[in-house]
Amino acid sequence: MQTARTVPAATVVNLRDLGGIALGRERRVRQGVLFRSGQLSGLDPAGDLAVAALGIRTVVDLRTADERRWAPDRLPDRARLFVADVLGDHPGVAPARLKALLADPVEAERMLGGGRAEELFADTYRKMVLSPGASAAFRAFLETAADPGARPVLFHCTAGKDRTGWAAAVLLLILGASRETVRSDFLAVNPAVRAAFAPYVQKFLDEGGDPAVAAAVVEVRPRYLEAALDAVDERWGGLEGYVRDGLRVPEPALRRLRDGLVITG
Protein backbone atom coordinates (compact mmCIF):
# COMPACT_ATOMS: atom_id res chain seq x y z
CA MET A 1 0.00 0.00 0.00
CA GLN A 2 1.33 3.43 -0.96
CA THR A 3 2.50 5.54 1.98
CA ALA A 4 4.14 8.95 2.09
CA ARG A 5 7.38 9.02 0.09
CA THR A 6 10.58 9.60 2.06
CA VAL A 7 12.56 12.66 1.01
CA PRO A 8 16.31 11.99 1.48
CA ALA A 9 17.08 15.12 3.49
CA ALA A 10 20.46 15.40 5.17
CA THR A 11 19.44 17.66 8.05
CA VAL A 12 15.71 17.02 8.67
CA VAL A 13 14.39 13.90 10.38
CA ASN A 14 11.49 11.90 8.97
CA LEU A 15 10.77 14.15 5.98
CA ARG A 16 8.02 12.70 3.79
CA ASP A 17 5.88 13.79 0.82
CA LEU A 18 2.22 12.81 1.18
CA GLY A 19 1.92 12.85 -2.60
CA GLY A 20 0.90 9.58 -4.22
CA ILE A 21 -1.15 8.18 -1.35
CA ALA A 22 -4.22 6.42 -2.76
CA LEU A 23 -7.65 7.94 -2.14
CA GLY A 24 -9.69 5.35 -4.04
CA ARG A 25 -11.25 5.30 -7.53
CA GLU A 26 -7.93 6.15 -9.23
CA ARG A 27 -7.55 9.25 -7.07
CA ARG A 28 -4.42 10.12 -5.11
CA VAL A 29 -2.76 12.97 -3.25
CA ARG A 30 -0.95 15.46 -5.45
CA GLN A 31 2.84 15.27 -5.15
CA GLY A 32 5.09 18.11 -4.10
CA VAL A 33 2.54 20.20 -2.19
CA LEU A 34 2.31 18.74 1.31
CA PHE A 35 5.20 17.46 3.42
CA ARG A 36 5.58 16.23 6.99
CA SER A 37 8.68 15.88 9.18
CA GLY A 38 10.29 16.15 12.57
CA GLN A 39 11.53 19.46 13.94
CA LEU A 40 13.63 21.76 11.76
CA SER A 41 16.12 22.91 14.41
CA GLY A 42 18.95 21.13 12.59
CA LEU A 43 18.04 22.23 9.06
CA ASP A 44 20.85 23.61 6.93
CA PRO A 45 18.82 25.84 4.57
CA ALA A 46 21.68 26.37 2.13
CA GLY A 47 23.40 23.00 2.34
CA ASP A 48 20.47 20.58 2.40
CA LEU A 49 19.69 20.48 -1.30
CA ALA A 50 16.87 17.96 -0.95
CA VAL A 51 14.92 20.39 1.24
CA ALA A 52 15.81 23.43 -0.85
CA ALA A 53 14.45 21.70 -3.96
CA LEU A 54 10.98 21.37 -2.42
CA GLY A 55 10.32 25.11 -2.58
CA ILE A 56 8.54 25.16 0.78
CA ARG A 57 6.51 28.35 1.23
CA THR A 58 4.99 27.68 4.67
CA VAL A 59 6.18 25.73 7.70
CA VAL A 60 3.45 24.81 10.21
CA ASP A 61 4.99 24.13 13.63
CA LEU A 62 2.68 22.03 15.82
CA ARG A 63 4.95 22.12 18.90
CA THR A 64 4.53 23.78 22.29
CA ALA A 65 6.15 27.07 23.26
CA ASP A 66 8.77 25.25 25.36
CA GLU A 67 9.71 22.98 22.46
CA ARG A 68 10.03 25.94 20.12
CA ARG A 69 12.20 27.77 22.63
CA TRP A 70 14.49 24.79 23.27
CA ALA A 71 14.86 23.88 19.59
CA PRO A 72 13.72 26.74 17.32
CA ASP A 73 13.08 25.96 13.68
CA ARG A 74 15.50 26.96 10.98
CA LEU A 75 13.34 27.73 7.96
CA PRO A 76 13.89 26.90 4.31
CA ASP A 77 14.84 29.89 2.20
CA ARG A 78 11.89 32.29 1.74
CA ALA A 79 9.53 30.13 3.84
CA ARG A 80 7.27 31.70 6.46
CA LEU A 81 6.53 30.16 9.86
CA PHE A 82 3.00 29.49 11.12
CA VAL A 83 2.60 28.22 14.69
CA ALA A 84 -0.34 25.91 15.49
CA ASP A 85 0.33 24.66 19.02
CA VAL A 86 -1.61 21.42 19.41
CA LEU A 87 -0.74 20.74 23.06
CA GLY A 88 -0.85 24.28 24.43
CA ASP A 89 -3.70 23.20 26.73
CA HIS A 90 -1.62 20.23 27.94
CA PRO A 91 2.07 21.19 27.51
CA GLY A 92 3.37 18.49 29.87
CA VAL A 93 1.98 15.47 28.05
CA ALA A 94 4.20 12.79 26.59
CA PRO A 95 4.71 13.81 22.93
CA ALA A 96 6.12 17.15 24.06
CA ARG A 97 8.69 15.45 26.34
CA LEU A 98 10.05 12.50 24.36
CA LYS A 99 13.72 12.97 25.24
CA ALA A 100 12.93 13.79 28.86
CA LEU A 101 11.00 10.54 29.21
CA LEU A 102 14.12 8.62 28.14
CA ALA A 103 16.53 10.57 30.33
CA ASP A 104 15.90 8.82 33.68
CA PRO A 105 15.21 5.05 33.60
CA VAL A 106 14.18 4.93 37.27
CA GLU A 107 11.64 7.73 36.89
CA ALA A 108 10.50 6.26 33.56
CA GLU A 109 9.78 2.93 35.24
CA ARG A 110 7.84 4.65 38.01
CA MET A 111 5.75 6.69 35.59
CA LEU A 112 5.55 4.45 32.54
CA GLY A 113 6.29 0.86 33.52
CA GLY A 114 3.77 -1.96 33.46
CA GLY A 115 2.09 -0.79 30.27
CA ARG A 116 1.46 2.74 31.50
CA ALA A 117 3.52 4.27 28.65
CA GLU A 118 1.11 3.00 26.01
CA GLU A 119 -1.85 4.11 28.13
CA LEU A 120 -0.33 7.59 28.45
CA PHE A 121 0.14 8.00 24.72
CA ALA A 122 -3.32 6.64 23.90
CA ASP A 123 -4.81 9.14 26.34
CA THR A 124 -2.83 11.95 24.68
CA TYR A 125 -4.32 11.01 21.32
CA ARG A 126 -7.79 11.31 22.82
CA LYS A 127 -6.81 14.75 24.14
CA MET A 128 -5.71 15.76 20.64
CA VAL A 129 -9.25 15.03 19.44
CA LEU A 130 -11.22 16.40 22.39
CA SER A 131 -9.20 19.45 23.48
CA PRO A 132 -10.51 22.80 22.17
CA GLY A 133 -6.94 24.08 21.85
CA ALA A 134 -5.88 21.09 19.79
CA SER A 135 -8.95 21.46 17.59
CA ALA A 136 -8.09 25.11 16.94
CA ALA A 137 -4.53 24.16 16.02
CA PHE A 138 -5.56 21.41 13.63
CA ARG A 139 -8.16 23.72 12.05
CA ALA A 140 -5.45 26.32 11.50
CA PHE A 141 -3.23 23.68 9.90
CA LEU A 142 -5.99 22.52 7.56
CA GLU A 143 -6.89 26.06 6.55
CA THR A 144 -3.22 26.74 5.80
CA ALA A 145 -2.95 23.59 3.70
CA ALA A 146 -6.10 24.68 1.85
CA ASP A 147 -4.56 28.02 0.86
CA PRO A 148 -2.99 27.74 -2.62
CA GLY A 149 -0.72 30.67 -1.83
CA ALA A 150 0.72 28.86 1.21
CA ARG A 151 1.73 25.71 -0.63
CA PRO A 152 4.00 23.81 -0.65
CA VAL A 153 3.41 23.34 3.08
CA LEU A 154 5.65 21.45 5.52
CA PHE A 155 4.07 20.56 8.87
CA HIS A 156 5.89 19.06 11.81
CA CYS A 157 6.17 18.47 15.55
CA THR A 158 9.27 17.14 17.35
CA ALA A 159 9.64 13.62 15.98
CA GLY A 160 7.00 13.92 13.26
CA LYS A 161 4.97 11.01 14.57
CA ASP A 162 2.21 11.95 17.05
CA ARG A 163 0.80 15.44 16.47
CA THR A 164 2.06 15.29 12.88
CA GLY A 165 0.69 11.77 12.52
CA TRP A 166 -2.82 12.79 13.59
CA ALA A 167 -2.70 15.92 11.41
CA ALA A 168 -1.80 13.76 8.41
CA ALA A 169 -4.48 11.21 9.29
CA VAL A 170 -7.22 13.83 9.48
CA LEU A 171 -6.13 15.43 6.24
CA LEU A 172 -6.04 12.10 4.39
CA LEU A 173 -9.46 11.13 5.70
CA ILE A 174 -10.89 14.47 4.54
CA LEU A 175 -9.41 13.85 1.10
CA GLY A 176 -11.09 10.44 0.93
CA ALA A 177 -8.48 7.93 2.09
CA SER A 178 -9.72 4.77 3.77
CA ARG A 179 -8.94 4.13 7.42
CA GLU A 180 -6.78 1.19 6.30
CA THR A 181 -4.69 3.51 4.12
CA VAL A 182 -4.42 6.05 6.93
CA ARG A 183 -3.33 3.35 9.36
CA SER A 184 -0.61 2.12 6.99
CA ASP A 185 0.74 5.62 6.50
CA PHE A 186 0.55 6.37 10.23
CA LEU A 187 2.71 3.34 11.10
CA ALA A 188 5.17 3.84 8.23
CA VAL A 189 7.14 6.48 10.16
CA ASN A 190 8.43 4.01 12.75
CA PRO A 191 11.74 3.06 11.07
CA ALA A 192 12.76 6.71 10.63
CA VAL A 193 11.77 7.65 14.17
CA ARG A 194 13.59 4.64 15.67
CA ALA A 195 16.72 5.65 13.79
CA ALA A 196 16.46 9.28 14.90
CA PHE A 197 16.05 8.38 18.57
CA ALA A 198 18.46 5.42 18.58
CA PRO A 199 21.21 7.23 20.58
CA TYR A 200 18.73 8.28 23.29
CA VAL A 201 17.18 4.81 23.44
CA GLN A 202 20.57 3.11 23.63
CA LYS A 203 21.66 5.33 26.52
CA PHE A 204 18.34 4.62 28.25
CA LEU A 205 18.85 0.86 27.84
CA ASP A 206 22.51 1.01 28.90
CA GLU A 207 21.40 2.64 32.15
CA GLY A 208 18.90 -0.12 32.83
CA GLY A 209 15.79 1.24 31.15
CA ASP A 210 12.96 -1.08 30.10
CA PRO A 211 12.95 -1.75 26.31
CA ALA A 212 9.15 -1.94 26.35
CA VAL A 213 8.93 1.57 27.79
CA ALA A 214 11.39 2.93 25.22
CA ALA A 215 9.47 1.32 22.36
CA ALA A 216 6.13 2.71 23.52
CA VAL A 217 7.63 6.22 23.78
CA VAL A 218 9.53 6.25 20.48
CA GLU A 219 7.16 4.35 18.22
CA VAL A 220 3.63 4.95 17.10
CA ARG A 221 1.26 2.08 17.75
CA PRO A 222 -2.03 1.08 16.11
CA ARG A 223 -3.70 1.65 19.47
CA TYR A 224 -2.72 5.33 19.46
CA LEU A 225 -4.49 5.99 16.19
CA GLU A 226 -7.46 3.88 17.22
CA ALA A 227 -7.80 5.92 20.44
CA ALA A 228 -8.13 9.09 18.36
CA LEU A 229 -10.52 7.55 15.85
CA ASP A 230 -12.66 6.12 18.65
CA ALA A 231 -12.86 9.58 20.23
CA VAL A 232 -13.97 11.01 16.88
CA ASP A 233 -16.70 8.39 16.57
CA GLU A 234 -17.85 8.60 20.20
CA ARG A 235 -17.95 12.40 20.48
CA TRP A 236 -18.97 13.44 16.96
CA GLY A 237 -20.34 10.32 15.30
CA GLY A 238 -17.58 10.11 12.70
CA LEU A 239 -15.31 12.21 10.54
CA GLU A 240 -17.97 14.52 9.10
CA GLY A 241 -19.17 15.58 12.54
CA TYR A 242 -15.62 15.99 13.83
CA VAL A 243 -14.60 18.23 10.94
CA ARG A 244 -17.84 20.25 11.03
CA ASP A 245 -18.48 20.55 14.79
CA GLY A 246 -15.16 19.69 16.43
CA LEU A 247 -12.64 21.34 14.13
CA ARG A 248 -15.17 23.76 12.59
CA VAL A 249 -13.36 23.86 9.27
CA PRO A 250 -15.34 26.05 6.85
CA GLU A 251 -16.81 24.28 3.84
CA PRO A 252 -14.94 26.55 1.35
CA ALA A 253 -11.64 25.48 2.94
CA LEU A 254 -12.61 21.81 2.56
CA ARG A 255 -13.37 22.39 -1.12
CA ARG A 256 -9.99 24.10 -1.61
CA LEU A 257 -8.26 21.17 0.09
CA ARG A 258 -9.87 18.64 -2.19
CA ASP A 259 -9.48 20.75 -5.34
CA GLY A 260 -5.82 21.50 -4.66
CA LEU A 261 -4.57 18.23 -3.20
CA VAL A 262 -6.44 15.50 -5.09
CA ILE A 263 -5.59 14.34 -8.60
CA THR A 264 -7.20 11.66 -10.75
CA GLY A 265 -5.52 9.11 -12.96
List residues with catalytic annotation.
Answer: 157
Q: Which residues pair with 155 in a beta bridge?
A: 36, 60
Find out whether 56 and 154 touch, Cβ atoms under 8 Å. Answer: yes
CA–CA dist 92, 32 (Å, integer): 34
Distances (CA, A) of 50 to 7, 53, 54, 192: 7, 5, 7, 17
Angle CA(32)–CA(48)–CA(158) in degrees, nearest 5?
75
- Where are the strands (E) in the chain, listed by range? 5-6, 16-17, 22-24, 27-29, 34-37, 58-61, 80-83, 153-156, 262-264
CA 222 to chain centre: 15
Helix (H) or strand (E) holding 233: helix 222-236
Q: Which residues pair with 58 in a beta bridge?
A: 80, 153
CA–CA dist 225, 121 (Å, integer): 10
